C-alpha cells in the first residue's frame, strides 16, 4: 500500500470515528412543525415551529376519544343521526353508518381511532354533548385543563375550518394525557377491527383498518417500536401524524404537521417520525441527577452543641431526567436555597431548604433534609445568669448561717 493510500485510509477512519462520537446530531426534518417529547418528564427533545398554530386534521380525534372515555360507558348504545351522515363532506373518510343505527360506544371508538371515521366522531359528540357545538365547547375546556395554550376546536373530527387549529406542542400534551389510559392505548394501537351487525346493517362486513402505516407490518414505513397513535389529512393541513414509540422501556411521543412527500414520492410524515424516534432513542437516556438521601452540603448550625452543630443536608427524593448521553452530570452546579434563621434544636428529617438543578432550561428540584439531630447548646448569658443566681443564693445561705451563729453566741454570753 503506497503512502497516499495509507493517508487516505487514515483519513477515512478518522471520519468514521468522529461520526460515531457525534451522538447528538439533530435530525433533518421536512415537516413544517414537529415536536418530540419524553412523556414522564415532559422534556422536549426536539422541536420545530412547535408553538405555531396549524390545522390538525384528524389528529383532533384524540381529544374526542379522551372525552368519550371520561364521560360515558363503553357499553352504552349511541344512535346515528341524520346530521352525523350528511354533515360529512365528500372525500372525507366515513364508516358507512346509517341513520337510526344503534352501535355501542366501544364500536364507534374503534371506527373513530382505527379507520378515522368522521361520521363516528359526530355520533359520539352528539351522544355526549347533545350537539357538535356543545361537544366542541367541552373539547376546548378540556384542552385548557390539560395545559394546551393555542388550541381551538369547532368539531370532533378535524374537518377543515378556519377557526379549528392547534399546535404540535398542544397535540403532544393531548397525546401524553391520553396514553395514560390503557383503553385509549388499546384503540390507538389496533391494526384492524370489524364492526358487528346492527339493527340497520345486518352483516359484519365493515372492516376498519388502521390509517397508520407505521403499525402495518407489510408497509415500508413499518416500525416495530411504534405503538400508535393517530394520523390526519386534509388539503389545508396536509399530512399529519401523532405517534408513540417504545424501546428498552422508554416511551416517546412525536407530532409532525403539514408534511408532504419527498422527491422519491415517500411520505415525509413517516420519514420525519422515524428520524425523530431514532434521534430520541439513540442520543438520550434516563439518568439520576441526584439520588435520595445523597449528602449535598454540610452546614454549621451556630447554636448547636459542639458534637452536633456540623449538619449534613440530604436530598428528599431522587431526581431523574431523560438527558443527552454525553452530558457530564458531575459538572452540574446546583442552586441551593436554605431557610432563613436556621437554629437548633433540629430533628432528623426536618426540611431546611431545597436544591435545584437546571438542565436545558428545565428545573429539577427537591427538598433538603437534616440527616441528624442538632442539639441546642446552653446560651452563655443564661449560664452566667444561672451561676449568678446560684452564687447569690449561696451567699444568702452563708449570711443566714452566720447570723444564726452570732445570735446563739450572744444568748450564750448572757
Query: pLDDT tens for residues 206-222?
Result: 999 999 999 999 999 99
pLDDT the model gives residue 15: 44
* pLDDT of 175 higher than 80: yes
- Matching residue, cell 449534613: 312
pLDDT the model gives residue 25: 80
Give percent of the chain above pLDDT 90: 81
pLDDT the model gives residue 8: 46
CA distances from 165 to 53, 150, 182, 326 (A): 6, 8, 27, 38
pLDDT tens string 342-361: 999 999 999 999 999 999 88
pLDDT the model gives residue 16: 42
What gap in Å lies between CA 317 and CA 243, rounded to an integer?
Answer: 32
What gap in Å lies between CA 189 and CA 212, rounded to an integer?
Answer: 9
- Taking a C-beta distance cutoff of 8 angstroms, is the pair 346, 301 a contact? yes
Which spans in 21-101 are helix H?
Answer: 61-71, 82-86
28 C-beta neighbours (distance < 10 Å), count: 8
pLDDT the model gives residue 238: 98
pLDDT the model gives residue 396: 73
- Helix 182-189 and helix 61-71, axial crossing angle in degrees, nearest 10: 140
pLDDT the model gives residue 410: 56
- For residues 22 and 262, the model is more confident at 262
CB-count exposure of residue 308 (10 Å: 0-12, 13-18, 19+): middle
- Taking a C-beta distance cutoff of 8 angstroms, is the pair 176, 185 a contact? no
* pLDDT of 172 higher than 70: yes
- For residues 320 and 251, the model is more confident at 251
- Mean pLDDT of the 265-293 span: 96
- Mean pLDDT of the 371-383 span: 78
Kindly indicate the confidence band of residue 62, based on its pLDDT and cuts at 50, 70 and 90. very high
What gap in Å lies between CA 346 and CA 146, rounded to an integer?
Answer: 41
Kindly indicate the confidence band of residue 24, based on its pLDDT and cuts at 50, 70 and 90. low
Active-site residues: which are they?
Answer: 58, 61, 116
Mean pLDDT, the chain, whole residue set? 91
- Mean pLDDT of the 297-305 span: 93
Of the segments 108-112, 343-347, 374-378, which one has the largest average pLDDT value?
Answer: 108-112
Altogether, the residues listed in the chain come to a count of 414
Kindly indicate the confidence band of residue 101, based on its pLDDT and cuts at 50, 70 and 90. very high
- Mean pLDDT of the 387-403 span: 73
148 C-beta neighbours (distance < 10 Å), count: 21
- Mean pLDDT of the 97-105 span: 98
Kindly indicate the confidence band of residue 11, based on its pLDDT and cuts at 50, 70 and 90. very low
Distance of CA 273 to the CA centre of its chain: 19
Residue 367 grid cell: 427538598
> For the chain, give me the number of helices (H) and strands (E)?
10, 16
What gap in Å lies between CA 240 and CA 57, rounded to an integer?
Answer: 7
3-state secondary structure 129-174: HCCHHHHHHHHHHHHHHHCCCCCECCCCCCCCCCCCEECHHHHHHH
What gap in Å lies between CA 230 and CA 251, rounded to an integer?
Answer: 16
- Taking a C-beta distance cutoff of 8 angstroms, is the pair 154, 161 a contact? yes
* pLDDT of 397 higher than 80: no
Q: Structure pTM?
A: 0.82
What gap in Å lies between CA 23 and CA 271, rounded to an integer?
Answer: 20
pLDDT the model gives residue 405: 64
What gap in Å lies between CA 315 and CA 298, rounded to an integer?
Answer: 12
pLDDT the model gives residue 240: 98
- Taking a C-beta distance cutoff of 8 angstroms, is the pair 122, 111 a contact? no
- Mean pLDDT of the 168-193 span: 98
Amino acid at each position: 500500500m503506497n503512502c497516499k493510500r495509507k493517508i487516505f485510509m487514515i483519513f477515512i477512519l478518522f471520519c468514521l470515528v468522529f461520526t460515531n462520537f457525534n451522538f447528538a446530531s439533530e435530525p433533518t426534518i421536512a415537516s413544517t412543525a414537529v415536536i418530540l417529547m419524553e412523556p414522564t418528564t415532559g422534556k422536549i427533545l426536539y422541536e420545530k415551529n412547535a408553538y405555531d398554530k396549524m390545522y390538525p386534521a384528524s389528529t383532533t380525534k384524540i381529544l374526542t376519544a379522551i372525552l368519550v372515555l371520561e364521560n360515558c360507558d363503553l357499553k352504552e348504545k349511541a344512535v346515528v343521526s341524520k346530521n352525523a351522515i350528511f354533515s360529512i363532506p365528500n372525500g372525507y373518510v366515513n364508516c358507512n353508518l346509517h341513520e337510526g343505527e344503534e352501535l355501542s360506544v366501544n364500536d364507534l371508538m374503534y371506527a373513530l381511532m382505527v379507520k378515522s371515521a368522521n361520521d363516528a366522531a359526530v355520533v359520539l359528540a352528539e351522544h355526549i354533548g347533545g350537539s357538535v357545538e356543545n361537544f366542541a365547547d367541552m373539547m376546548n375546556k378540556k384542552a385548557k385543563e390539560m395545559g394546551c395554550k393555542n388550541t381551538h376546536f369547532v368539531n370532533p373530527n378535524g374537518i377543515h375550518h378556519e377557526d379549528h387549529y392547534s399546535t404540535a406542542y398542544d397535540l403532544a400534551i393531548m397525546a401524553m394525557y391520553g396514553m395514560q389510559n390503557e383503553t385509549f392505548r388499546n384503540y390507538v394501537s389496533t391494526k384492524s377491527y370489524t364492526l358487528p351487525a346492527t339493527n340497520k346493517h345486518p352483516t359484519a362486513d365493515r372492516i376498519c383498518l388502521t390509517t397508520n402505516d407505521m403499525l402495518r407490518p407489510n408497509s415500508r414505513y413499518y416500525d416495530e417500536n411504534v405503538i400508535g397513535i393517530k394520523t390526519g389529512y386534509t388539503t389545508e393541513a396536509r399530512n399529519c401524524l401523532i405517534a408513540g414509540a417504545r424501546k428498552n422501556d422508554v416511551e416517546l411521543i412525536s407530532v409532525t404537521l403539514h408534511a408532504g412527500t419527498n422527491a422519491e414520492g415517500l411520505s415525509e410524515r413517516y420519514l420525519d417520525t422515524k428520524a425523530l424516534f431514532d434521534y430520541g432513542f439513540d442520543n438520550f437516556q434516563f439518568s439520576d441527577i441526584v439520588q435520595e438521601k445523597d449528602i449535598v452540603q454540610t452546614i454549621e448550625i451556630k447554636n448547636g452543641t459542639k458534637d452536633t452543630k456540623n449538619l449534613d443536608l440530604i436530598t428528599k427524593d431522587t431526581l431523574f431526567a431523560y438527558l443527552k448521553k454525553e452530558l457530564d452530570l458531575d459538572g452540574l452546579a446546583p442552586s441551593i436555597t436554605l431557610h432563613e434563621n436556621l437554629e437548633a434544636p433540629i430533628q432528623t428529617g426536618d426540611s431546611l431548604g431545597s436544591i435545584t438543578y437546571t438542565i436545558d432550561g428545565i428545573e429539577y428540584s427537591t427538598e433538603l433534609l437534616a440527616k441528624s439531630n442538632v442539639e441546642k447548646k446552653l446560651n452563655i448569658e443564661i449560664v452566667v445568669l444561672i451561676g449568678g443566681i446560684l452564687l447569690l443564693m449561696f451567699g444568702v445561705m452563708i449570711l443566714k448561717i452566720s447570723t444564726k451563729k452570732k445570735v446563739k453566741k450572744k444568748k450564750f454570753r448572757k
